Amino acid sequence: MTPMEIEDILLEMKDTSELMIDLAYSALLYDNEEIARHVIELEERVDDWDEEVQQKAIERALEDRDVQKALVFIRLANSIESIADGAVLIADVVLRDIETHPVVAAALKESDAAIATVTVPPISPAAGKSLGELKIASETGMWIIAIRRGEGWTYGPDENARVEEGDLLIARGPVEGEKELRALIGG
């Protein structure tokens, strides 16, 4: 594996922190400790990247003498870390919790970015196709943030991830997107 450039790490951090937030709210909405624990795992990755950015930023500053640029890199990594921390705090509520979710869950469903679950039915036109082939995001406005197949989970699936009959999809998007997602996968 070739070492990642600072810009690539920041991009991974950004995408991961956004996935963490969506997963954290999903965990809260469905009172799902497994998803909450995955948010905590992702946080460790973000922490490692944060340190890596700091080190590489300083190394690069030694080469190009551009102190300002190094500071921008370090500040951005810290910013994203703070966002990820917020997601961890939400996940933490789920992991500590004592049956207080229904109150909040009802409110969460009203969000601009609502979270929905759809199960892929038998004989779905989507079965066997990848998320990229289905163009789910651009066709329905919904982002697939997790897929449960049997006992296993895929978090933040990329466009190559395939949808199979019986999969449970957790998606985030506009309220009206849920209907379109169901139409697309025949759920």
Residues at the interface with a copy of itself (CB under 8 A): 7-8, 10-11, 14-15, 17-18, 21, 24-25, 28, 66, 68-69, 72-73, 75-76, 78-87, 89-90, 92-93, 97-98, 100-101, 103-104, 106-108, 110-113, 135, 137-141, 143, 173-174, 176-177, 180
Q: Cβ distance 180 to 115 under 8 Å?
A: no
Q: Cβ distance 2 to 152 under 8 Å?
A: no
Query: Min. distance of Cβ 141 from a copy of itself in angstroms?
Result: 4
Strand partners for 149: 152
* Gyration radius of the chain over CA positions: 19
Nearer to a copy of itself, 94 or 120 (CB): 94
Query: Min. distance of Cβ 22 from a copy of itself in angstroms?
Result: 9
Query: Min. distance of Cβ 105 from a copy of itself in angstroms?
Result: 10
Query: Min. distance of Cβ 150 from a copy of itself in angstroms?
Result: 26
- The two tokens of residue 174 are 């506009």
Nearer to a copy of itself, 122 or 159 (CB): 159
Please name the residues in contact with 130: beta carbons below 8 A apart, sequence gap of 6 or more: 159, 160, 161, 162, 163
CA distances from 59 to 54, 64, 71, 112, 163 (A): 9, 9, 12, 42, 43
Nearer to a copy of itself, 12 or 165 (CB): 12
Nearer to a copy of itself, 52 or 165 (CB): 52
Which one-letter amino acid corresponds to residue 97? D
Instruction: At 170, give phi and psi (nearest 5°).
Output: -105, 125
Nearer to a copy of itself, 10 or 118 (CB): 10
Query: Min. distance of Cβ 164 from a copy of itself in angstroms?
Result: 22
